[in-house]
Amino acid sequence: MAKAPPPTIDTELEDLPASMRWREWMGRAEAVIFASPEPVGRAVLARVVGRDCNLDRLIADIAAELTGRPYELVSVAGGWQHRTKPAFAGAIQASGALGRPGPALSQGELTILMAIAYFQPLTRTDLSTVLGRNVGRDAIAALRKQDYVASGPRSPQPGAPYTYVTTPAFLGAFGFASLRELPDMEKLEEAGLLSRDRLFSSDPLAALTSAGDDGAAEEHDGSHQDYSHDD
C-alpha cells in the first residue's frame, strides 16, 4: 500500500501581517523540532515556512525565547533539536523519569568508535592497524546496531572492502553539530587532557582523563585487548 503524501499547508501566509506571519513560522518550526525524535534539518523546516523566510534568523528568535527555560535549541548533526540544559541533568537523573538507559558502549567499542570518528573512512583492516590489534566483524556490528557507524565508500585496496564512517546519530548522541566540532587531538594532548598512546593501546576513557597521571598509566599499562569476538 502506497504511503499517503503529507498534507499541504499555506506556507506563504500572504493574508497575514508580517509580524503575525513571522510568529506563525516560528511556531511551526518549533513544533516540528519539538515533535521530532531526531535533529530536524533545514530542508524539513523549509516545508512549513515561506520561501523568503530566513531560517537562521527564525531559529535565533526561537532560541532567544527559550532563555530562562530548562531546555534550549541546539545545533546537532546538521539540524536542530531541543535539549535539556546541562544544569538540570542531576534533577532528571534523580527523578528516574528516563527509565532504564540504553545499552552502553564497551571499552573496546568506544575505542573503535573514536578511531573511526577521527580517521574515517577506515576499513576493518585499517582499524586493526591503527589500534594495533584485531578488530572483529561483530565489534563493528555492535556499533552499526546502535547506528553510530555505517558503511562508507569502498576502499581502493585489493578486494575493494567497505570503509566505515560515523553517522548523524553519532553526532547527535555526542552533541556535535558536525565532525568539525570533534576536539583537536593535538590540542587535547598539549592541554594534558588526552593521551594518544593510551587511546590506541588500552583504555579510551583514561585517554580522555588526566594524561599526566602516572598512577593511572601504571594501572592501564599492559591491559591490551583483542576487539575481535570472532571464533
Residue 55 inside a domain? The answer is yes
Distances (CA, A) of 148 to 64, 137, 140, 151: 31, 15, 10, 11
Domain match, 80 and 138 both: no
- Give CA–CA dist 208/16, Å, rounded: 53
- Give CA–CA dist 49/101, Å, rounded: 36
Domain match, 70 and 163 both: no
Residue 231 inside a domain? The answer is no
Which domain-ending residue is among 56, 86, 116?
86
Boundaries of domain holding 72? 18-86
Domain match, 41 and 123 both: no
Q: What does the pLDDT profile of the chain (231 residues) look like in tens digits? A: 556 666 788 999 999 999 999 999 999 998 888 877 788 889 999 999 999 999 999 999 999 988 888 888 888 878 888 888 888 878 877 877 665 555 577 777 888 888 888 888 989 888 888 777 888 888 889 899 888 999 999 888 888 888 999 998 888 777 777 888 777 766 655 655 455 555 555 444 444 433 334 333 333 333 333 344 443
What per-residue string of b and e applies to 11-34 under the rule 16 or more CB within 10 Å gives b?
Answer: bebeeeeeeebbebbbebbbebbe
Contact 33, 82 (CB under 8 A): yes
Residue 63 inside a domain? The answer is yes
Please give the model's pTM, rounded to 2 decimal places.
0.51
- Give CA–CA dist 177/26, Å, rounded: 21
Residue 98 inside a domain? The answer is no
Domain match, 71 and 135 both: no
> The CATH number of the domain where 160 resides is what?
1.10.10.10
Residue 201 inside a domain? The answer is yes
Residue 2 inside a domain? The answer is no
Total domains present in the chain: 2
Which region holds residue 132: left if phi is over 0, alpha if psi is between -120 and 50, else beta? Answer: left
Count of beta carbons in the 10 Å neighbourhood of residue 104: 8
Domain match, 128 and 214 both: yes
